[in-house]
Structure 1
Amino acid sequence: MKAIIYCRVSTTKETQETSLARQEEELLRLASTYGFEVASIIKEQASGYDLEREGILELLDLIKDKKVGALLIQDETRLGRGNAKVAILHCILKENVKLYSISHSGELQLSESDSMVLQIVSMVEEYQRKIHNIKIKRGMKRAIEHGYKPQRNLKNQGEHSGRDRKEMPIEEIVKLRNNGLTFAEIAATLRGFGITYLRRQ
């Protein structure tokens, strides 16, 4: 399994460089213990309360690669502090990436309070998606009631006619997928914009 090593210290003082080097060394040993292939090592000197960190943004990009299955850290506070930590943990766990830490000598065990907050965040996010889809469905229903005819998206209908080839909005689909929507939800969203792919009868 491929893994990413993430090391962070809070300040740019020279004395902190030793801590970064120590974190890297310990996490490389942890990776070796579990037989992980280290795909990337990210080190940065920044406050854990700051979300706008080059290292953490790079990390979030890398974990979208489904070949990366684990993230190795010294402890969860290396990812962030306060609300920033919860937000980053949510993004990581949503990608089904396992967390391993030095402090737990293996897979990270979240505290009861962190687990509860993350469950609430996931629940809220799911309901936000449902509300979004309901609003699209209601908007389409009202548009049809006011005379909008979605079938006009198909041309040349007749005995020997087919339909015009429609270009797939790839960039929009990728964006929706990256926002955590399922393929069914993406299809519903596209239908809300009048983008349909109907089979010939």
Structure 2
Amino acid sequence: MNITKNGYYFIGLLVGLYLWILILYLVGNPGDLTDYSIRLAVLFGFTSLFIAGVITPFMKQIYKMFGTSFLNIHHVFSVIGLILVTVHPLAFAIVTNAPEAFIPKFDSWIVFWNLAGRPALYLIYISVIAVLIRKKISQNIWRILHGLNYVALVFGYFHGVLIGTDFQNLGIMITFTAMFVISMEVLIYRRYQKYIFNQKKKGV
């Protein structure tokens, strides 16, 4: 891996983002070590998935900065995010002796969104499975399944806003709202990139 100066700047930016979130968490109400595995894990997990998604439209730039395949960088953050967002409900279920923490609830509209983190986890895993079987399914189906990551981000964000302890911290609320908005903007930008690419193929 041949990291350029811009690559190191980018790494510094990412490290700064994680440190900023850690600081916001610590100045709030960090709780005991158990809370770290429940709350801090999901904050870092959401951040990692955000990074994995937001760098997607910039494959060439990422390659130039790090001298390695974009997918290598993308998958690192995806795997870290997947592990950490899984630790969140797992630790909660163990601490509270509540295995139902993994079961989505559809009792009402409010209950669904309060606990939207539950279906979000399954959507992320479906997206991961889609990557593993990508060569065996059509490109369109793969795009749809992999795009479930964005639905999962929506679910995870509103789950945090509605019942997340740390989202009562204004700094965390603003930071994660910004990440959520940027993620949606990146999704729109990717669709635009795809549209331009298709138009060029048609010779328009």
Instruction: Compute the TM-score of the two structures, normalised by the length of structure 1.
Output: 0.28
Q: Where is the strand percentage greater, Structure 1 or Structure 2?
A: 1
Structure of higher RCO (CA pairs closer than 8 Å, 6+ residues apart): 2
- Quick check: which has more Rg, 1 or 2? 1
Instruction: Compute the TM-score of the two structures, normalised by the length of structure 2.
Output: 0.28
